[in-house]
A = this chain, B = another copy of it.
């Protein structure tokens, strides 16, 4: 049974796409539903989201942001007010046309993002420079009618947060854009252990309606990039479209400056792909709903005593703030349980059997490298947090090494194409700044600019696509 349970999952290195779907479903993170492109977030997957949410919410509140909630619906006439914005989102909008038996006079978009309903309200609330900044974040659901979907990574409906801020000056708005960008990087790297490349998008790749979009881009094991979050600087685009004006201290009416930014449950897909192995998920302890699983090992007469001690230790760990699960089910063998909790990516397993009772110890087994360690009961509450911290750091280190090894620097288009076809990864190459060159590369390789490498000096370099003088170096990749 155990054997069958495990072997039914394809190897990560052999069929990555199928491995991903199997892991997500068998670990009970998510499931398909009868509605095309919509998934259920099951408790274990939603539990990860709750931890990510808490971690980000803390950071946002500490920097002066407040949560609120805006309507699910956007009247069509509002969505069309910012020209670029509607062009970007209209093709994937779900439309409500009827309420009960009545046809609506104006159809309502289900928000694909909320700028077009948030901004009109800000226009109502902002009068004076004293009302600025407004720093509001929304935790909600959005809908984008996608043709091709994939659990967590691209679904018709998904959960996310979207921040919307308005400011008195351009500098304030840009500072906010970058502050959030920094918070996202801290979140993704230090909570999820996913290292990212960061930088601005090209004009072609930026958010519909933004003047600048900053992105975090991670590299998945199949050589494709995953966008993990974006922070947008709108300049005055939206405040002009929605007429957000304020009386400044110099007595003049001015348009405000705005930003928006978001990360979504797609991050959970990134977690699965980045850290998992052939046995299943590996969750970084900071976002693991269960950090330690306690598995008592017993045969017949020793059962009561072993379970009693397992319960005591599990309670002590829980009381010490470690998310702990006791698995005392008697219908499964210890081996079955080991496989199940490995599949579900629990960072640390605690085994306790009759001999451990004698020796007043337990056996701890790390999920990432399977290293076993005997720890005395007295030392358990000190040792477990140390191992969890080590494990968190080890996952980040391993992922960082992979990211570093996935970046190829090249000035030769032939090499560019050949790498993009074989190993994939991030190709760091000079670019002239023209959309036509992005189009050519996309047509020939399906790769796009993921972000611009701001720290690289492009003087004297030639565009990888057209040979004209480069404006910048950029990271190209195929992406999710």
- Which A residues contact B (CB, under 8 angstroms)? 31, 33-35, 38-43, 46-47, 49-50, 66-75, 78, 90-101, 107-108, 110, 117, 120-121, 124-125, 130, 136, 140-141, 143, 145, 156-157, 159, 331
Q: Are A100 and B145 in contact (CB under 8 A)?
A: yes
15 additional contacts (CB under 8 A) given A40-B121, A43-B66, A94-B108: A33-B71, A33-B121, A34-B75, A34-B78, A35-B117, A40-B68, A41-B68, A46-B67, A49-B69, A50-B67, A69-B141, A92-B100, A95-B99, A96-B97, A98-B107
Known: A34-B75, A66-B43. A97 touches B95 (CB 8 A): yes
**Of listed A43, A107, A143, residue having the most chain B CB within 10 A:** A43
Let me know if A94 and B96 touch, CB within 8 A: yes
Q: How far is the CB of A81 from chain B (nearest CB, A)?
A: 12
| A368-B42 Cα distance, complex, nearest whole Å | 44
Given the complex, which residues of B lie within 8 Å of A67, measured CB to CB?
A: 43, 46-47, 50
Closest residue of B by beta carbon distance from A134: B43
Shortest Cβ distance from A77 into B: residue: B34
Q: Are B99 and A40 in contact (CB under 8 A)?
A: no
CA distance in complex: A425, B336 (Å): 60
- Of all chain B residues, the one with the shortest Cβ separation from A67 is B46
Selected A-B contacts with CB under 8 Å, 17 pairs: A34-B75, A34-B117, A40-B69, A41-B70, A43-B68, A43-B136, A46-B66, A46-B69, A49-B69, A71-B157, A72-B157, A90-B100, A92-B100, A94-B100, A97-B97, A100-B145, A130-B331
Q: How far is the CA of A164 from the CA of B122 in the complex (A)?
A: 37
CB closest chain-B residue, reference A91: B100
Complex-state Cα separation, A69 to B48, whole angstroms? 12
- Of the candidates B41, B97, B101, which one forms a contact with A98 in the assembled complex, judged by CB atoms under 8 Å apart? B97
- Chain B residue at minimum C-beta to C-beta distance from A147: B100
Nearest chain B CB to A79 CB, angstrom units: 12
**Do residues A69 and B159 form an inter-chain contact, with CB atoms below 8 A?**
yes
Q: Are B69 and A96 in contact (CB under 8 A)?
A: no
Task: Return chain B residues, CB-CB under 8 Å to A145.
Answer: 99-100
Q: Which residue of chain B is the closest to A66 with respect to CB atoms?
A: B43
User: Does B75 lie within 8 Å of A46, measured CB to CB?
Assistant: no
Q: Kindly list chain B residues whose C-beta atoms are within 8 Å of the C-beta of A157.
A: 71-73
Q: How far is the CB of A117 from chain B (nearest CB, A)?
A: 7
A70 to B35, CA, bound (A): 11
Please judge, given known A-B contacts A97-B98, A100-B92, A121-B40, whether A143 and B72 are in contact too, CB under 8 Å. Answer: yes
Contact of A141 among B42, B49, B50, B141 (CB under 8 A): B141
Task: Chain B residues near A95: list those with CB within 8 A.
Answer: 96-99
Please measure, in the bound complex, the distance between the C-alpha atom of A145 and the C-alpha atom of B75, giving whole angstroms: 15
CA distance A49 to B140 in the complex (A): 14
The answer to whether B66 and A47 have CB atoms under 8 Å apart is yes
List B contacts of A78 (CB < 8 A): 34
Looking at the assembled complex, report how far the CB atom of A109 sits from the nearest CB atom of chain B, in whole angstroms: 10
Q: A46-B68, A67-B46 are in contact. Are A35 and B97 (CB under 8 A)?
A: no
Smallest Cβ distance from A388 to chain B, in angstroms?
21
Alpha-carbon distance between A361 and B331 when the two chains are bound, in angstroms: 65
Measured in the bound complex, the distance between the Cα atoms of B101 and A91 in whole Å is 7
Q: Is the CB of A98 within 8 A of B108?
A: no
Q: Given A91-B100, A93-B100, A157-B73, decide whether A35 and B141 contact each other with a Cβ distance below 8 A.
A: no
Q: Are B94 and A98 touching (Cβ within 8 A)?
A: yes
> For A33, what are the chain B residues with a Cβ–Cβ distance below 8 Å?
70-71, 117, 121
How many angstroms between the C-alpha atoms of A33 and B120 in the bound complex?
9
Residues from chain B with Cβ under 8 Å of A72 in the complex: 38, 110, 141, 143, 157
Report whether B93 and A96 are in contact in the complex, using a CB–CB cutoff of 8 Å. no
Tell me the nearest residue of chain B to A136, going by C-beta: B43
Q: Which of B31, B42, B68, B108 contacts A35 (CB 8 A)?
A: B108
Separation in Å of the A142 CB from the closest CB of chain B?
A: 10
Give complex CA distance A29, B399 in Å.
Answer: 44
Q: Hey, which chain B residues are within 8 Å of A140, CB to CB?
A: 141
Asked if B97 and A38 sit within 8 Å, CB to CB, the answer is: no
Contact of A38 among B38, B47, B66, B73 (CB under 8 A): B73
For A68, list chain B residues within 8 Å (CB): 40-43, 46
A75 cross-chain contacts in B, Cβ below 8 A: 34-35
The 7 tightest CB contacts between A and B, nearest first, are A43-B66, A99-B145, A41-B69, A38-B71, A95-B98, A97-B97, A100-B145
Contacts of A136 in B (CB 8 A): 43
